[in-house]
Structure 1
Amino acid sequence: MEEDKEESSKKKLRQDDPPVTAASLFTDDLILEVLSRLPARSVCRFKCVSTPWRDLIADPVNRKKLPQTLAGFLYTTCGRSSPWDISHHFASVSGGAAPVDTSLPFLQPNKYKYIAHVDTCNGLLLCACFSKETPAADNDEFRYVVCNPATERWIELPPIPQAWATRIHNATRLAFDPKMSSHFHVLEFGQDVGSYVTGADIFSSQTGAWIRRDCGLVEKIQVFHGITSVFFGGMLHLVGRLNLNPTSTDEGSALLVVDMEGKAWKTIRLPNGFSNCAIGLSRGCLYYASTTRAHVRNNNNKKTNVRATDIALWCLENYDSKEWVLKHSASIDEPLGITGVRWRVFAIHPDCLTIFLVPWGGDVLASYNVQHQKFAHILNVGKDKIPIYLPYVPLFSEALAGADGP
């Protein structure tokens, strides 16, 4: 009788115990190993599994092992007293605090009096640093610096050889992929008097030196300012415009593509001609997004005073064939209720089909979710901004070969 009571008591205790799940049997190291192999978007979702998982993912030590998603955009505002009276800012896509100090105080503040944010790529930031309060054209007073704002490690690049300084430069881009190498490249594209790309000066952090390469393209192409590039498959992709036959009705927008040795150059035609556009790498594919303005028509097929924003999103599903596939198109009347403005795309989210837009001459930064076909207001950015927004994905690993800093 006593044995039956004891057995009954043990069963009751087992029933009252919390259920044992498969996840609870994993060690923290094993969980981190699994999470490190997942897309950044999935890692963010798994913060909601439990409090221990949230703390595990948010731990600063563990962040070095886990993929990160888009945190927001770096942008600059100008003061009214001087064109060089500038301030750097961060626009978070989630409404959180800036993950870095945008003034970059670790970049020898006593040496660099003026710092311009030039480009970003996979966690690294390319800056143009001047030793005087007012930037000058003298190359002796100017240096490119590549840094990782999350780890405060940085590298000052040597100047481009003076003998090369006769060519006009119109675009400088950063190329880096921590999955491929801890080394990076900086490409400064040169143009002729007709504004067509003639080649590039390329810096490799592996060799520590610049090389000059001519493009050798039959086509003439102009690289657009203020549109970010994409480093994909070991090739840098920039948006430009081809010089077509003047009688052609096609406006000839295209991607300029170059490898890191400057030996392979090509162009990839973009759909629907010249427009307010951006390119981006999302979920492993190259995407192209654009906006155009169109009049809304009433039931009698007459134009009204209200204008719509036409949005198109294309994917280069087969890179070798260079064929773009239209994934989404929509016409939206006066997005966010803002009237009389023309919207332009400036970025595409790397982990989901969301595009980011700003109105020309406006002070709003917004997003458009393709799946739900909805605009969302992110923040007001001020009217004295420099209209270049650099996407920033934090890189917490120490991967930056040859860097100075902590």
Structure 2
Amino acid sequence: MEAETEKERSLEKKTKSGLYRCNYPGATAEAAALFTDDLILEILSRLPARSLHRFKCVSLPWRDLIADPANRKKLPQTLAGFLYTSFCGSGYRHHFASVSGGPAPFDPSLPYLQLNKYKDMAQMDTCNGLVLYRGCTKKAAPWDWAEDDCRFVVCNPAIGKWLELPPKPSAPAIRYSHTAALAFDPAVSSHFHVLHFEEDYLANYMTGVSIYSSRTGAWSRRDSGMVEKAAPFFRCKCVFVGGMMYVIGELEDISTGNEYVVVGVDVEGKEWKTIRVPYCSRFCMIGLSQGCLHYAVATYESLVPEITLWCLKDCNSKEFVLKHTASMDMLLSMTRMKYRVVGIHPDCDTIFLFSYGGATLATYDMRHQKVSCIINLENMNITQRFLPYVHLFSEPLADADGQ
């Protein structure tokens, strides 16, 4: 299913038409002169990232125009790779897996964030080019950190800007949280929100959310508005789309066992909703792709292991629609390893799979049902979360501390 709108397809068609006309020998000088670099950039900036990257193959001048660092600030960017961490006795180590096979676009350890007061920096979330970190004054395991020992930091690694958030108000003693999410849409506003989900130690479900707004520079708190009691799925990335933050939650039921749902909440904490997922499995993942919320899951219970990709058509819908089903036989025969879904490409129906018992990240094209490439990661002791990263060359952090 193509997610490009009719307007985008029409604009792309017109752009291609003008482009090829100017490159054919028969094109007139007058027609070619109409397409100045400024005009071309203005047109390209309105196209989806996938269309933009196709245009790089048309001619050398266009490739150079699109690849120019000064021009990239004005053009849409696609997935560069994944941030991930490994953990050892000395703390977190930060890594970057490039989907193109090239070098990391920045130092993933972000040395300018390692302030004297921070002994550890943990990657919490990414959203449209910004990265959310949790800084601790003491070294701690991923599952063991104190509320009064951490500060959240939002960073734009493409331009080296960062902002330390003020301390979050303390939660009641019986409440805790390991799940924090970043909400940012540069097409809507230069401001961002950080959502820190709060859980109850004893009952093990979300009781509310603390929300930081860069517009006000302050934290606020909202009680959960859910009727059903769900706890955030620890390994899953949160996804921001259509003004709502989504996270996979686990419902505990004595009669049926655990059941997974997608929990959604707006950035003001006023609107809450739960959406049943089509198949419950710890091998599942949600992601933003082609402007819609997607759900992907690898299943091994059937005779033929398979991957399914589902799509939530719009923010008002409460039902996922099946897009693709693919067998995992080829991937399993190549590597003899089980995989779980860890990411979904933002521009196409390609998913990313991480191997159990190894250090392999595989890309699987669901539309054509083939393995695109296999990336061997640089460290075996890897945490279970992969955060997608897209370049952001604008400077939305107006009050950033970084130089």
Q: TM-score, normalised by structure 2?
A: 0.87
Residue 130 (str. 1) matches residue 139 (str. 2): no
Secondary structure of the 1:362 match is: coil
Residue 187 (str. 1) matches residue 195 (str. 2): yes
Which stretch of the first structure deviates more once superposed, 363-372 or 326-335?
Answer: 326-335
Note the alpha carbon deviations across 1:15-38, whole angstroms, 9 max, x for none: xx9543645630111111101100
In structure 2, the residue matched to 1:64 is: 73
In structure 1, the residue matched to 2:37 is: 28
Superposition map of 1:237-386 within 5 A:
237-244=246-253, 246-248=254-256, 251-294=258-301, 296=303, 308-333=304-329, 335=331, 337-338=333-334, 341-381=337-377, 382-386=379-383
Distance 1:295 1:219, change over 3 A: closer
Secondary structure of the 2:52 match is: helix
CA contact under 8 A between 1:309 and 1:343: conserved in structure 2? no
RMSD (Å), alpha carbons: 2.2
2:329 and 2:237 map into 1 onto residues whose CA distance is: 27
CA contact under 8 A between 2:114 and 2:121: conserved in structure 1? no
Secondary structure of the 2:111 match is: coil
Q: TM-score, normalised by structure 1?
A: 0.86
Secondary structure of the 1:170 match is: coil
CA contact under 8 A between 1:358 and 1:365: conserved in structure 2? yes
Note the alpha carbon deviations across 1:192-217, whole angstroms, 9 max, x for none: 12211111111111111111110132
2:311 and 2:334 map into 1 onto residues whose CA distance is: 29
Note the alpha carbon deviations across 1:169-188, whole angstroms, 9 max, x for none: 13111111111111111111
Q: Give how far 1:162 is off.
A: 3.2
Q: Give how far 1:142 is off.
A: 2.1
1:65 and 1:179 map into 2 onto residues whose CA distance is: 12
In structure 2, the residue matched to 1:167 is: 175
Q: For residue 348 of structure 1, what is the amino acid of its counterpart?
A: I
Note the alpha carbon deviations across 1:273-295, whole angstroms, 9 max, x for none: 23411111211222111001146
CA contact under 8 A between 1:309 and 1:334: conserved in structure 2? no
Q: For residue 96 of structure 2, what is the amino acid of its counterpart?
A: F
Superposition map of 1:104-115 within 5 A:
104-107=110-113, 109-115=115-121
Q: Give how far 1:138 is off.
A: 5.0
CA contact under 8 A between 1:342 and 1:359: conserved in structure 2? yes
Q: Give how far 1:89 is off.
A: 0.8
1:292 and 1:56 map into 2 onto residues whose CA distance is: 44
Equivalenced residues, count? 374
Q: Give how far 1:336 is off.
A: 5.3
Identity, in percent, stands at 56
1:165 and 1:231 map into 2 onto residues whose CA distance is: 29
Q: Give how far 1:77 is off.
A: 1.9
1:138 and 1:337 map into 2 onto residues whose CA distance is: 44
In structure 1, the residue matched to 2:232 is: 223
Secondary structure of the 1:173 match is: strand
Q: For residue 331 of structure 1, what is the amino acid of its counterpart?
A: S
Secondary structure of the 1:225 match is: coil
In structure 2, the residue matched to 1:13 is: none
Q: Give how far 1:330 is off.
A: 2.1
Q: For residue 368 of structure 1, what is the amino acid of its counterpart?
A: Y
Residue 142 (str. 1) matches residue 150 (str. 2): yes
Q: Give how far 1:339 is off.
A: 5.6
In structure 1, the residue matched to 2:384 is: 387
Note the alpha carbon deviations across 1:153-180, whole angstroms, 9 max, x for none: 1110111123656521131111111111
Secondary structure of the 1:386 match is: coil
1:377 and 1:37 map into 2 onto residues whose CA distance is: 30
Secondary structure of the 2:56 match is: helix
Note the alpha carbon deviations across 1:327-370, whole angstroms, 9 max, x for none: 11122225153565321101100001000001222211001101
